[in-house]
Structure formats: C-alpha cells, structure tokens
Chain A
Amino acid sequence: AQRVTQPEKLLSVFKGAPVELKCNYSYSGSPELFWYVQYSRQRLQLLLRHISRESIKGFTADLNKGETSFHLKKPFAQEEDSAMYYCPPGGSGGSNYKLTFGKGTLLTVNP
C-alpha cells in the first residue's frame, strides 16, 4: 500500500531563505509522486511531478529511492510561496488509481 508522510505540519521561513518541504513515502512498486500546491482560498493545482524532472516557480523535487523521499526544495523562498503543499503518492495504475493527499504542510514565508 502507498503511504506518504509529510512530517512538518507547519513550516515558517524568511524571505530569501532556502526552504525544504519534506515528503517520505513507503511504496510497493514504482512510485508516482507529485507535489500539489493550494494558495490561500484557491483550488489545488499541480506544482510538479517526479517523472517530469522540471523546475516550477523555482521549486525542484528529486526522487531519492534510497531514502524513499521526494522533498520539495527552493533555494530562495518568496512571500508568494506561502501556501499549503501536498505530496500525494499515486497508485499503481488501473482504474482504481487514486491520489492520497493527507494533511499537507503549510508554508509561511515571512517578509
């Protein structure tokens, strides 16, 4: 069964500081991992996917199979990065695929 842990419920940094949002997973099979972001009172939206290996809004996330982690990083946080971040693991495919979102991490970037 897929399980994800975001150990930090709240994370507060100052503008310009590096930020890392942690995501650890336990998974059977090949993981499909994502980061979704929810800005204040807005809809959830995809931030990035591990298979894309891209940088969005300065954020990157590398899948570390040894540590079973998919931490989200940004070298210099901006105030507009303040949001809820979720790291749901995907299922193993098939018609019963589902994303399990959980509690997320609330990031606050202070001026």
Chain B
Amino acid sequence: DTAVSQTPKYLVTQMGNDKSIKCEQNLGHDTMYWYKQDSKKFLKIMFSYNNKELIINETVPNRFSPKSPDKAHLNLHINSLELGDSAVYFCASSPGGGAGETQYFGPGTRLLVL
C-alpha cells in the first residue's frame, strides 16, 4: 500500500549510458514532482507535472526528460549520464499542486554514475 513508489531503488551505471527511473502514486493526486538531492543533502526541484502537463521545469539539462503517461505516473529519463548526475532522486506528489498542500515523497532512487 505504498503511496509513492519509485523503481529502481539503486542504480549504478557507466558514464554515457541512458537510464530511466519510474515513479507511481496511488493517492489519486493530480500533481507529481521530481527532486534531486546531492551529496550535501541540497534538495532541489527539477520538474512538476499537473494532470500530465508540465508545469515547472527548473534549469535542468535537456538530457533529463520527464514523461507522464497518466497522472499516476511520472518517469524520468536521463540521456548520456555524467558523473555529476550522481545523486538521490526523489519523486513526490500532492493533491492539486496548490500552496499549502503537503507533498508525499517516494523512497528515493540512489543513482551512481561511474
């Protein structure tokens, strides 16, 4: 009954590879997010989608491409992985994306690029 789930939990890959991280929420929320947490625990938003529509796109390299097949899923595809992409990636969701709403986070995906 996990509310927000992510796969895989761990991802170790070589530079230059392409990889995807999947996220699913069963809360019926309209809005989903991707965050990146670096080694210093700095947590920064990357993208948000509301009902499959891209709402927020922070200054993220275009190697990162989110895809939302439906409002319960938000996947993150990363092309040509670089060493600096190593981080923990968190998916989150909130009911409508409005101010004051609680965001519910997934367990995170630890990406290590070698």
Contacts and interface: CB of A to CB of B under 8 A. Distances in A.
Interface of A: 32, 34, 42-46, 49, 51, 84, 86, 90-104, 106
Contact of B99 (A86, A97, A104): A97
Contacts of B101: 97
A101 B99 contact: no
A8 B87 CA distance: 22
A35 B106 CA distance: 17
B61 interface: no
27 contacts: A34-B102, A42-B107, A43-B4, A43-B106, A44-B90, A46-B102, A51-B100, A90-B99, A92-B99, A93-B98, A93-B100, A94-B98, A94-B99, A95-B50, A95-B97, A96-B55, A96-B56, A97-B99, A97-B101, A98-B33, A98-B45, A101-B44, A102-B42, A102-B44, A103-B42, A104-B41, A104-B42
A26 B24 CA distance: 34
B7 interface: no
Contacts of A94: 98-99
Given A96-B55, A102-B42, A104-B43, A32 B100 contact: yes
Nearest to A42: B107
Given A101-B44, A103-B40, A44 B105 contact: yes
Contact of A101 (B35, B56, B102, B107): B35
